[in-house]
Chains A and B, each alone.
Chain A
Amino acid sequence: MDALLLARMQFAFTIGFHFLFPAMTLGTALIILISETLYLVKKDDTYRRITDFLARLLGLIFVVGAATGIVMEFSFGTNWSQYSRAVGDIFGPILAAEGVIAFFLESVFIGVLIFGRNRVSPIVYWVAALLVFIGGHLSAFWIVVANSWMQTPAGYEINAVGKIMLTSFSAAVFNPSTVARFLHTVLATWVVSAVMVCGIAGYYVRKGQHGETARTMLKLGIILFAITPLLQLGAAHGHAIQVINTQPVKAAAMEGHFHTTRGANIYVVGFVDEANEKTYGIYIPKGLSFLYNFDFNSEIKGLKEAPKENWPPVNLVFQSYHIMVALGMIFIALGLLGAWLLWTGKLYTAKWYLMGLPFLIPLPHLAHETGWITAEVGRQPWIIYGLMKTAAGASVVVSAGELIFSLLMFSAVYLLLFVIFVLLFVKIVKQGPATS
């Protein structure tokens, strides 16, 4: 197997695995902040028990995220050294800013959140919860900035010797896809944790465990589960419009749309026959054009606008995107159903609903992973969209043999981490919140 493919497999695997953990961290930090705020306002110990329980889970989640995150920072140098040389001017400061402005804040105060309950006043503890929330989200912001710059580069020029030079830091940071991607990504992480908390609390309520604490946790979870997928619908729409405008080839691949047309269809499910350049499936006529600007006859660019060597793997992008969208619709329906049960006072006795909740926990992860595959595979064959090919970014001195070694190492270590993480996560859940 050639080194480039191995390097891509390793990056996809290590970042796909890493992404599971920050996705849980951000939303959990949000729920902790809400719960701790309610504790401060209402002086009700129920909320303190919820915070302490979630802080324990957060400790486990955060440490696996941090351990697998450092791999990502190394990987640009180890596996993508030519890319690193080319974009040091822009990509480097973004990663450095992430450290200085965000990750320090999150990492320093998470120590207070996990170890400080008996050492600090409730106000200081609340401030720590707030700063972990802010630090985590700032961290996500800078990582999204780095990714967005690879999708829609801005604020640079190419100098006389062909080197990419930064000309405007603010233009690079707020490039055309940063804001849309940030909202979409953060909301995805909130859905992840809303569903996680619903799954855990739903299990307790159905089993009759942890009384008021479990019911309050479920209520918090269901409210977020009802709101966040709806907000996500708006953010997702904004992001899709931005992709159509700034990365038309990727947008066309997402819908298997080959020919530029007015009145483009949108598929519910389907299959792309890449060889014959045809897409089959169930579709809503003119749906894509309508969603683009609420005009059934607006023009949507097709894949044929670009030479075929600049297309991503179309069917993979199409399927990933459609799985994500379908899951998003399911979350909206199930979240609203939960809210209705809560509103009508049936939530805590609706066994059929409570029984299903724990099984939903992996699904938002599947949604954000498929969303990420859509974004990153959809960017191919470019490492920087329209500017630098992925093949030109790989390290030149790393051999296929070395890559096989490292890929096997990460596969074995991450499998171990995953198994232990799940076992301990389940164990902490079974121990549950403190009873006093």
Chain B
Amino acid sequence: MENIQNFQILWFVLIFILFTVYALLDGFDLGIAILLPFLGGTKEEKDTLIASIGPVWDGNEVWLITGGGALFAAFPHAYATAFSGFYLAMMLVLLALIFRAVSMEFRANDPARAGLWEKALIGGSALAALLFGVALGNVIYGVPLTGQMEYAGSFFTLLRPVPLLFGLTGLAAVCLQGACWAVMKTEGALQERSFKAVKKLLWINAITAVIYFLVLVVTFPRLSSNILFYVAVWLTYAGLIALYYSLGRKNDTAPFAESSLSFIGLFLAAGALQFPNLITASNNPQFSLTIYNSSTGLYTLQVMAVIALIGMPVVIGYTVFVYRLFKGKARTDNHY
């Protein structure tokens, strides 16, 4: 049975990748929506910004759905404990995701209430981006668990300073993703404004990332001997520094890749810290949900590995194909 450990580790890595790619891709959708009131001066500019994510956001959200499905399939106890334990927070996540999804379509078809749907889009996107970080912060920082793997805290347990810091760090990174996407997909005055937003967000991210990494290493001293933590810090700051120079050259495509790199660094630090835990127990380390005590059987993990290793390259292939179809500056000539 020792070979089940290899599959448990493989699935930790695959789920980490699914959630990271989700954050990078849906990150720019959410970021564009959050920045809508700051970047979009006129209705036409707002239309352009929304058109830049219109054809791709729903595919991007499937990374979350598949990540959730993979968590259920590989580590059902972690899925069950977190989703039922964080019940009210999960309901808020759903509320946010519902409104951000329907509001773009409703806004396009319902001009009379376009302002209202814009508010729903902005609010839903900001709340979702914030809550994802808070949720990740909680499972890493630790929550009280029972010996039967059940959550023993309340809704307010989730709102402690360290998880909230994760939320704010994530929100800042998502906004930077959105601003860099806007720089790539827009032109003229709108692009100028987006460049300025990237510059501001670059400094905000530099600060939130410093605090994030410092809090992590102070709270969890074991990180200081983890090589991946240093790689993570290096990735984040390499991304941000490269972004600084791209801004100087007014390069409109590199910033998105550089912002993504810095976001990957944030995730890598979290993943390196968390392994092999899935949900850390704050009251008793024995109660933590790990990849070893929460997984499904070897056969299920193997079947899933086959599906993922055949299916995901195909998914990535046609996703790249469709992104290439819509590459270049966003157009509002049809539908939205």
A residues near B, CB below 8 A? 56, 59-60, 62-64, 66-71, 73-74, 76-79, 81-82, 84-85, 87-93, 95-101, 103-105, 107-112, 114-120, 124, 131, 165-167, 169, 395-398, 402, 405-406, 409, 413, 417, 420, 423-424, 427-428
Q: B residues within 8 A CB of A112?
A: 55, 322, 325
Some 19 contacts from A to B, beta carbons below 8 A apart, are A66-B61, A68-B98, A85-B77, A87-B76, A88-B75, A88-B80, A88-B300, A92-B300, A96-B307, A104-B62, A107-B58, A111-B322, A114-B54, A115-B336, A116-B325, A116-B326, A395-B87, A397-B84, A417-B102
**A137 CB to nearest B CB, Å:** 16
Contact B80–A90 (Cβ < 8 Å): no
Additional A-B contacts beyond A92-B304, A395-B84 (4; CB < 8 A) = A74-B68, A76-B83, A109-B322, A420-B102
Cβ of A88: which chain B residues have Cβ within 8 Å of it?
72-73, 75-77, 79-80, 296, 300
Q: Which of the listed residues A116, A397, A428 has the most CB atoms from chain B within 10 Å of its own CB?
A: A397
**3 closest pairs, A vs B, by CB?**
A88-B76, A77-B83, A92-B73
In contact, B101 and A78 (Cβ under 8 angstroms)? no
Q: How far is the CB of A67 from chain B (nearest CB, A)?
A: 4
Interface flags, B88-100, vs A, CB<8A=1, else 0? 1011011101100
A-B contact count (CB 8 A): 227
When the two chains form their complex, are residues A93 and B322 in contact, meaning their CB atoms are under 8 A apart?
Answer: no
Residues A166 and B303 in contact, CB atoms below 8 Å apart? yes
Interface of B is mostly: helix
B150 to chain A, nearest CB (A): 5
The segment out of B172-180, B218-226, B253-261, B308-316 that lies at the interface is B308-316
Q: Which of B81, B102, B151 contacts A64 (CB 8 A)?
A: B102
B32 CB, min distance to chain A CBs, angstroms: 15
Interface centre among A64, A70, A167 (most CB of B within 10 A): A70
- The answer to whether residues A100 and B98 also contact, given A66-B58, A81-B81 and a CB cut-off of 8 A, is no
Select B335's contact among A56, A66, A96, A169, beta carbons within 8 Å: A56
- Chain B interface residue count, CB cutoff 8 Å, equals 65
A78 touches B87 (CB 8 A): yes
Q: Is the interface of A mostly helix, strand, loop or mixed?
A: helix
Contact of B65 with A by CB under 8 A: yes
Cβ of B109 under 8 Å from chain A: yes
Report how far A309 CA is from B66 CA in the complex, Å. 38
In the bound complex, CA of A69 to CA of B58 (Å): 12
Q: Are A118 and B333 in contact (CB under 8 A)?
A: yes
| B79: contacting residue among A60, A84, A100, A104, CB under 8 A | A84
Is B307 in contact with A114, judged by CB distance below 8 angstroms? no
Among candidates A71, A74, A84, A105, residue contacting B318 with C-beta atoms closer than 8 Å: A105
CA distance A97 to B310 in the complex (A): 11
| Contact with A70, one of B76, B97, B106, B335 (Cβ below 8 angstroms) | B97
Chain A CB within 8 A of B24 CB? no
